[in-house]
Amino acid sequence: MEKAVSRVSLVRVVDENVDAAVREAVALAGGLPDAVRPGATVLVKPNVVGAWPSGTGNTTDARVTEAVTRMVLDRNPGRTIIGEGSSVGYDFRGLKDTMHCLEVSGTADVARELGVELVNLNADEVVEVTANEAYVMPTFGLARTAYEADVIIDLPVVKTHIRTGITCGLKNMKGVLPGREKKRTHRMGLDHGIVDLNRVAKPAFTVVDAIVGMEGTHQYPDDCVRLDCVLAGADVVAVDAVCADLMGFDVADIKHVQLAAEAGLGCADLSRIQVVGMTADSVRRSFASFQRAASARWGDALVVDKDACTGCMGELTSLFIYLREAGFADRLGELAVVLGTVDENQWDDLLSTGEGAVVVLGKCAAHLRDRQTSRRVAFAPGCPPHGTTITDAACDALGIDREVVRAAIEHLHDF
């Protein structure tokens, strides 16, 4: 084995004592960076992608956020901030915003308890920044709070992802981008865009919530994977590489992690990463990929997309859940969904495959809505369109009574 160039700690959470596990993981990884010092501005960045309670695997466990924030406060920094900008689909007029997500996740309670600032990075002032040697985003907008922070502490949770295979430390930094820039990373190339973001806003230290993660299509509680662990390290690329391995993925297949290593942002070579504490073999589980789980769950529906963002993809998931709940899963084989920046060739190829219904989804694909075709076509407007809007459009295209499906949706959410 070559000499290790990065260290990642892996610690078991015993008897639900998350604080102790976090402190041990941070210590084994070499401790918080020296830049967390009196007078410094420190941004603690959890993953609060949506309105999910702590412990569900969809968002960073609030106990991890609390433990790390307490450790930061022990260093007497000048300013400590917990900040996040939730996924595309939040912070639009009439919808729930990031602050709502922070409340639901328990993160806001942590900020109040510890007396630290809580910032919605989606609503923050935007600073234009430059990424040297960028792959696809030489300039982009960044939340001022992240731009001005002396230190960013990254608190992801281990999850699969439809585009990037996994989402962990590197991808969690997308929360410091305003909504328009989050979408832009998808249009420009998500894996490359994540790396360009980290060239400018690379976290100084990463602590991973691997207590409960999410596999597949992130359906709660079916897709929860309990590992009861915490990881930590100063090299976010190495941390992500170890997490990919723990999830049963070949690190070589996780493109953004490999690109980050090639860009000199860290080490993705497992043979050169020292894992301290527990062994990876004692924790490793085989997470179902998003694609494998989606195929099993969604049946024969055809999804045609090009660079669609997670906002549209996430809302699209609701369509399959709602039609299945209403007893129309057998109709999915008649349906094609078109989203993202689909080009003319993809559209023509779709039309050549036969009969059936088509739903054109969202702003990026809107130019296809009025194309002449023998198929039944319905359009779901929005950026992203809401899951119920998509479902209504699918019902229209398939000739299904909207009210029957709406009743099933109301029953599903009656809890």
Q: What would the pLDDT profile of 38-92 be if each residue is shown by its tens digit? A: 999 999 999 999 899 999 999 999 999 999 999 999 999 999 999 999 986 666 5
Kindly tell me if the per-residue pLDDT of 101 is higher than 90.
yes
Omega of the bond leading into 221 within 30 degrees of 0 (cis)? yes
**How many Å apart are CA 382 and CA 379, to the nearest integer?**
10
- 210/226 Cα distance (integer angstroms): 8
**332: pLDDT strictly greater than 90:** no
Whether residue 178 has a cis bond before it, omega within 30° of 0: no
Which among 175, 243, 221 has a CA at the least distance from the CA of 8? Answer: 243
| C-alpha–C-alpha distance, residues 256 and 275, integer Å | 21
Instruction: Identify the sign of the CA torsion 176, 209, 216, 401.
Output: negative
Higher-confidence position of 369 and 9: 9
Q: Is the pLDDT of residue 373 over 80?
A: no
The identity of residue 294, as a single letter, is A
Residue 415's pLDDT is what? 32
Contact 186, 162 (CB under 8 A): no
The conformation of residue 54, written as its DSSP 8-state character, comes to T
Please enumerate in sequence order all residues whose Cβ is within 8 A of that of 150, keeping only pairs 6 or more positions apart, or say none: 35, 40, 41, 42
Kindly report which listed range (255-259, 299-303, 404-408) carries the lowest average pLDDT score.
Answer: 299-303
Q: Domains of the chain, with CATH numbers?
A: 6-282 (3.40.50.11440), 299-412 (3.40.50)
In this prediction, residue 293 carries a pLDDT of: 83
Count of C-beta atoms within a 10 Å radius of residue 41: 15
pLDDT at residue number 208 = 98
Q: Is residue 232 scored above 50 in pLDDT?
A: yes
3-class secondary structure, 86: coil
pLDDT score of 166 more than 70: yes
Report how far apart, in Å, the C-alpha atoms of 62 and of each of 106, 142, 149, 339 are.
Answer: 6, 25, 21, 34
Is a pLDDT exceeding 90 seen at residue 217?
Answer: no
pLDDT score recorded for residue 371: 77
Q: What is the pLDDT of residue 275?
A: 98
**pLDDT tens-digit readout, 168-214:** 999 999 999 987 788 788 778 889 999 999 999 999 999 999 999 99
Q: Report the sign of the C-alpha dihedral through residues 120, 169, 195, 202, in that order.
A: positive
- C-alpha span between 202 and 124 (Å, rounded): 19
In this structure, are residues 177 and 85 in contact, taking their beta carbons and an 8 Å threshold? yes
**How many alpha carbons lie under 13 Å from residue 295 in its C-beta half-sphere?**
4
Predicted TM-score of the model (pTM): 0.83
Tell me: pLDDT of 155 over 50. Answer: yes
Model confidence band, residue 414 (pLDDT cutoffs 50, 70, 90): very low
Strand-pairing partners, residue 155, are: 46
More confident residue, 272 or 414: 272
Lowest mean pLDDT among 227-241, 242-256, 363-377: 363-377
Confidence of residue 130 (pLDDT cuts 50, 70, 90): very high
Q: Which DSSP string corresponds to 272-308?
A: GEEEEES-GGGT---PPPHHHHHHHHHTT-EEEEES-
Give the residue-averaged pLDDT of 379-406: 91
CB 340 within 8 A of CB 305: yes
The CA–CA distances, whole Å, from 152 to 149, 235, 343, 376 equal 7, 13, 39, 50
